[in-house]
Amino acid sequence: MASLNKIFLIGNLTKDPELRYTPNGVGVVNLRVAVNRKYRDRTSGDLKEETCFITVTAWDKQAEACNQYLSKGSPIFVEGTLQSRSWETTDGQKRNTIEVRAERVQFLGSTRDSGGKSEGNLEAESSAPAPEPSKSENISSENISWDEEENAV
């Protein structure tokens, strides 16, 4: 049976990224992305617009680059896969969600310079998790590998 799990999104961040680290020291960031869709209503003929809010999760160096260069309102292109997650709340209720796990995040356009955030059209590719990334390491576009073969998992 054939199967395909691939997502392509273009949208804007609804809030600043917040970088966290797993107990193993791997960076992870959740990006809230607003994606708009315009369509014509069949009954009235009016042009309508709807917005879908999607959580995108980026890992490792890609997460660190997103945290450094993106801010609320930043336009991004995301290539990834759908991932489902389940958990139980403190009061015992079961919850489920579907998110996008980013394989590639491309920063579109320029962003306003706010607290070290940079301008430009940059791209962050996912890579295999590093054993112990330095939490104080400065990440710049010069020391992130953009080569697909080098980042292959």
Measured CA to CA, the distance from residue 32 to residue 44 in angstroms comes to 32
Instruction: Please state the pTM of the whole predicted model.
Output: 0.68
Strands (E), the chain: 7-13, 18-21, 27-40, 47-59, 75-88, 94-107, 123-125
Cβ atoms within 10 A of the Cβ of 54, count?
Answer: 17
In a domain, 113, yes or no: yes
Q: What is the pLDDT of residues 26-45, one digit of tens each?
A: 999 999 999 999 999 999 99
Dihedral of CA atoms 30, 151, 26, 18 in degrees, nearest 10, equals -30
Structural domain count of the chain: 1
Mean per-residue pLDDT, 5-26: 95
* CATH code, 112: 2.40.50.140
Residue 89 sits at φ, ψ, to 5 deg, of -75, 170
Query: Which pLDDT score, from 0 to 100, does residue 86 have?
Result: 94
In a domain, 147, yes or no: no
Q: What is the pLDDT of residues 56-115, one digit of tens each?
A: 999 999 999 999 999 999 999 999 999 999 999 999 999 999 999 999 999 997 645 444
Range of the domain at 122: 7-135
